[in-house]
Amino acid sequence: MGRIRVVEGDITRAEVDAIVNAANTELKLGSGVAGAIRERGGPSIQEECDRLAPVALGEAVITGAGQLPARYVIHAASMDPGSPTTEEALRAVTRRCLELSRERGLRSVAFPAIGTGVGGLSVQGCAEVILDEARKHIEGETSLEEIRFVLFGEPAYRVFEQVDDAVRIRAQMEKLRR
């Protein structure tokens, strides 16, 4: 069984098989995580995205990672351009990213706080949904040995850490009640 890690840092520097990009359905690498991926990874990533776009809301596609240390970028279409990210779209796209990772036989994947920038989703809401989907996936059949959440800045990191801790404490309490 794989593990889930929550760390503070820059996802574009993560040494994993794939990093996840918080994308829109047009796969335009604009600002936030997508902008950092475009800047550090080089133009080849946007060129690949242009050939694959558009994608359906809740869908994800995989491209090369250009000059990033990761091998791939998984573009998670959690919103239409100009529209907010919903918890339903976040749940669907997180599942799809994890399925793509399994289909490709990846051993490690790193996620940002999808939808919390221009998508307008609260960090708390994002953490609850995305960590829940990661736990469900890691408990099933998967090639992933690690699902890492790389959060930019201490405030986002602390929220994810608290949500993750709360779930683990609840599980421990359940074991004690038995």
Quick: pLDDT tens for 90-128: 999 999 999 999 999 999 999 999 999 889 999 999 999
Domains identified in the chain and CATH numbers:
3-177 (3.40.220.10)
pLDDT score at 153: 93
**Identity of the amino acid at 92:** A
Kindly report the pTM of this predicted structure.
0.94
Rg (CA), the chain: 15
What is the tens place of the pLDDT at every residue in 4-49?
999 999 999 999 999 999 999 999 998 889 999 999 999 999 999 9
Considering only CA atoms, which of 92, 69, 53 is closest in space to residue 148?
A: 69
Whole-number Cα distances in Å, 141 to 38, 136, 145 = 32, 10, 11
Within 10 angstroms of residue 36's Cβ, the number of other Cβ atoms is 19
**71 within 8 A of 18, measured Cβ to Cβ:** yes
Alpha carbons 15 and 27: distance in angstroms, whole number: 23
